[in-house]
Amino acid sequence: MNARWAFAIFLFGSASIAVATDPPASTRAAVACLEDAACPAAKAKALYDAAVDAGAKGVDCTWIYYGILVDRDLDKAFRCFDRALQEEGGCNGGSPSMERLYYASMLLSGQGTKADPARASKVFDGCFVDASVPPVLDAATEHQNDPSAPPFDACKDNDGTTFSMSQCHAILGKRDEVKGLLRGKDAFEHLEPDVRSKWTAAQAAWTTFAEKSATFYAGTEGTIVTIRYPLYLAGAQKERSAAIAKFPAYAPAKNVEAKDLAAEERTLAERYEKAVENAGGEADQQNLRDAESAWTAFRDAETALYRTAYGKKFGDAVVDLDMRLRLTKRRNRDLRPLHSKS
């Protein structure tokens, strides 16, 4: 899975209609602008707004529902889900799509449309009634009995199935993904040209590292890949978004010495070796090796970014040591549970 496809899954949600179809030029242009740090945030928003208003395929209705990139608009969100279901057709005996779950949830509690709990229940006619359906049907009954009941959220209020849970992890993680991209645009705008190239390289290296790490964690300990992969990416993106937010105010830690880095690197070498032993089969071990190689590339690219941006202010050697120490400590934190596994 390459970085762009991984981004598309996280951006649009796994196996949603938006991913299953080939988005038109308008939607691709909006996403391309969002991905490109040099493309202004206002332009990305305007392009996505235009795609939404045009009813373009590939638009993610949950972005409108939650106000991701665009303003939250429940009327537009409901119309978007309605178009999605018209395109989808019936369930034909299969499990309901996330679009169907959201559409029914909005119908039963009057979000963006007139409340119609009875009609919401009929949305699942012809569908396989998996674990994601009963909570919606129960909520429909509740709203029939009490129209003042709080709105039902298809993800937040629904434990659902393994598959729907994985999609919800991706959907609810989008806000951090987009938040990080928008923060990146704001920071990028104020960077010198030589720093911009380092920024782009660091972001690309981080994407590869996150992807490789998600592949490892999704496949380890017999876990279910469809849940673990987007769950890991959501957590990683939240942390990355926080790091981007702190970039403009960076200052190296005081009293950092080379011996501190050497000690952390020794710990990392030990933990990594033990983690590989504990990884299990050859496939998991190779995935961990791939993740570690990607982390090394990310560490170098991230350090180069900070050194180029702040070396003149604090000194290249100071920034280099500080960043390598910070990143190595963080990697040690990540590997500690794997090292300690019995």
Please report the pLDDT score of residue 16 as a whole number: 34
The closest alpha carbon to 258, from 335, 321, 334, 175, belongs to 321
Sorted by sequence, the CB contacts under 8 Å of residue 9 that are 6+ apart come out as 1, 19, 170, 229, 230
Token pair 């496949």: residue: 219
Q: How many residues does the chain have?
A: 342
123 vs 85, 88, 101, 133, CA distance in Å? 10, 12, 9, 10
CA atoms lying within 13 Å on the CB side of residue 321 = 17
The closest alpha carbon to 274, from 335, 214, 233, 324, belongs to 335
Conformation bin of residue 67: beta by default, left when phi > 0, alpha when psi is -120 to 50: left
User: How far apart (Å, rounded) are the C-alpha atoms in residues 138 and 210?
Assistant: 38
Conformation bin of residue 133: beta by default, left when phi > 0, alpha when psi is -120 to 50: alpha
How do the domains of the chain map onto residue ranges?
73-160, 168-248+255-340
Long-range contacts formed by 310-313: CB under 8 A, 24+ apart: 310/250, 310/252
User: How far apart (Å, rounded) are the C-alpha atoms in residues 64 and 66?
Assistant: 6
The closest alpha carbon to 299, from 329, 259, 275, belongs to 329
Token pair 């959907």: residue: 171
- 174 pLDDT tier (thresholds 50, 70, 90): confident
User: How far apart (Å, rounded) are the C-alpha atoms in residues 295 and 324?
Assistant: 12
Please report the pLDDT score of residue 220 as a whole number: 60
Please report the pLDDT score of residue 70 as a whole number: 94
Q: How many CB atoms lie within 10 A of CB 104?
A: 27
**Is the pLDDT confidence value at 227 over 80?**
no
Sorted by sequence, the CB contacts under 8 Å of residue 29 that are 6+ apart come out as 47
Work out the percent of the chain whose per-residue pLDDT is above 90. 56
Amino acid present at 145? N
User: How far apart (Å, rounded) are the C-alpha atoms in residues 40 and 275?
Assistant: 42
User: How far apart (Å, rounded) are the C-alpha atoms in residues 317 and 192?
Assistant: 20
User: How far apart (Å, rounded) are the C-alpha atoms in residues 67 and 76?
Assistant: 11
- 20 pLDDT tier (thresholds 50, 70, 90): very low
What is the pLDDT of the chain when averaged over all its residues?
Answer: 86
Q: What is the pLDDT of residues 31-73, one digit of tens each?
A: 999 989 999 999 999 999 999 999 888 899 999 999 999 999 9
Sorted by sequence, the CB contacts under 8 Å of residue 216 that are 6+ apart come out as 279, 284, 287, 288, 290, 291
The closest alpha carbon to 46, from 57, 33, 55, belongs to 33
- 99 pLDDT tier (thresholds 50, 70, 90): very high
Q: Name the pTM for this structure.
A: 0.76
**Is the pLDDT confidence value at 155 over 70?**
yes
Which two three-digit tokens encode residue 47? Answer: 């392009």
Once rounded to an integer, what is the mean pLDDT over residues 110-122? 91
**Is the pLDDT confidence value at 85 over 60?**
yes
CA distance from start to end of the chain: 31
Please report the pLDDT score of residue 337 as a whole number: 78
Q: What is the pLDDT of residues 264-274, one digit of tens each?
A: 999 999 999 99
The closest alpha carbon to 289, from 220, 229, 213, belongs to 213
